[in-house]
Amino acid sequence: MTPSTARRLSLVPAPPRPSPFVPSVDAFERIVDEFQRRLYGFALRMTGSREDAEEIVQDAFVRAFRALGKMSDQQRTELRLQPWLYTIALNVTRNRLRGRRPSNVALDALSDPEALLNSAQEGPEQPEAIVTRAADMVLVEQALLRLPMHLRAAATLRFIEGRSHPEIAEILDQPIGTVKSHVHRAVRILRRILGPQLGRMTATREDREDDRAVF
């Protein structure tokens, strides 16, 4: 490359970077399309009921839409959308389940493998692996529904949703130390609940090298 060519290339402007997405009422359909499935999966794991999960997600989006309409441009620009939506969904879940006895929480969602399978898996899987993972997930989902709400939320966000401790702390509006304590307590209880199934599940997960499978 000659010096003159290099000078000409240096004068060519770089392509503009895409502007960061700013959530708004006008772009709310995009928000629903992107987060509806995730919030439904979270609500499903928290309640164990498809009907509850669907209504929770609908209520959460209504609240988010109204809140966005009241925000200033600066507030919307600074908004961390994903944890904010999870926080709204969690608050709706708490309100819906408040006072409900654990035995009254339906388990019909556990027969819905599409909602229970972890969508974060990379690469194609063999059918046998999918069936095994779905069966393991059902056991974990059943055990999670036996935890108190605050432990269930922390454990679901950590091990099912794959959130980091700082992300969970932001969603739950709790110190990181509290989140780690709740996750640790949840793991101890889940180990007792899962009992004999634990060894088989752990061996299967070691093959997948899942660093979040601490059960």
The tens digit of pLDDT for each residue in 40-86 reads 999 999 998 999 999 999 999 999 999 999 999 999 999 999 999 99
**What's the 3-state SS for the chain?**
CCHHHHHHHHCCCCCCCCCCCCCCCCCHHHHHHHHHHHHHHHHHHHHCCHHHHHHHHHHHHHHHHHHHHHCCHHHHHHCCHHHHHHHHHHHHHHHHHCCCCHHHCCCHHHHCHHHHCCCCCCCCCCHHHHHHHHHHHHHHHHHHCCCCHHHHHHHHHHHHCCCCHHHHHHHHCCCHHHHHHHHHHHHHHHHHHHCCHHHHHHHHHHHHCCCCCCC
The answer to whether residues 157 and 182 belong to one domain is yes
Q: Is residue 123 part of a domain?
A: yes
Q: Identify the domain containing residue 86 by its residue range.
A: 22-113
Please determine, for residue 35, whether its predicted confidence score (pLDDT) is greater than 50: yes
Select from 81, 113, 145 the last residue of a domain: 113
Residues 6+ apart with CB under 8 A from 83: 167, 170, 171
Give the percent of the chain with pLDDT over 70. 65
State the pLDDT at residue 40: 95
Residues 6+ apart with CB under 8 A from 116: 41, 44, 45, 109, 110, 134, 137, 138, 141
Number of Cβ atoms within 10 Å of the Cβ of 94: 13
Mean pLDDT computed over 139-167: 90
Give the pLDDT band (50/70/90) at residue 106: very low
Q: Is residue 12 part of a domain?
A: no
Give the domain CATH number at 42. 1.10.1740.10
The answer to whether residues 109 and 122 belong to one domain is no
Give the pLDDT band (50/70/90) at residue 159: confident
Q: Is residue 97 part of a domain?
A: yes
The answer to whether residues 142 and 190 belong to one domain is yes
State the pLDDT at residue 141: 82
State the pLDDT at residue 110: 43
State the pLDDT at residue 208: 43
Query: Distance (Å, rounded) from C-alpha 106 to C-alpha 124?
Result: 32
Q: What is the mean pLDDT of the chain?
A: 77
Give the pLDDT band (50/70/90) at residue 9: low
The answer to whether residues 104 and 138 belong to one domain is no
Q: Which residue, among 114, 152, 100, has the nearest Cα to 37 in the 3D structure?
A: 114
Q: Is residue 64 part of a domain?
A: yes
Q: pTM for this structure?
A: 0.72
Please determine, for residue 174, whether its predicted confidence score (pLDDT) is greater than 90: yes
Between 16 and 110, name the one with better pLDDT. 16
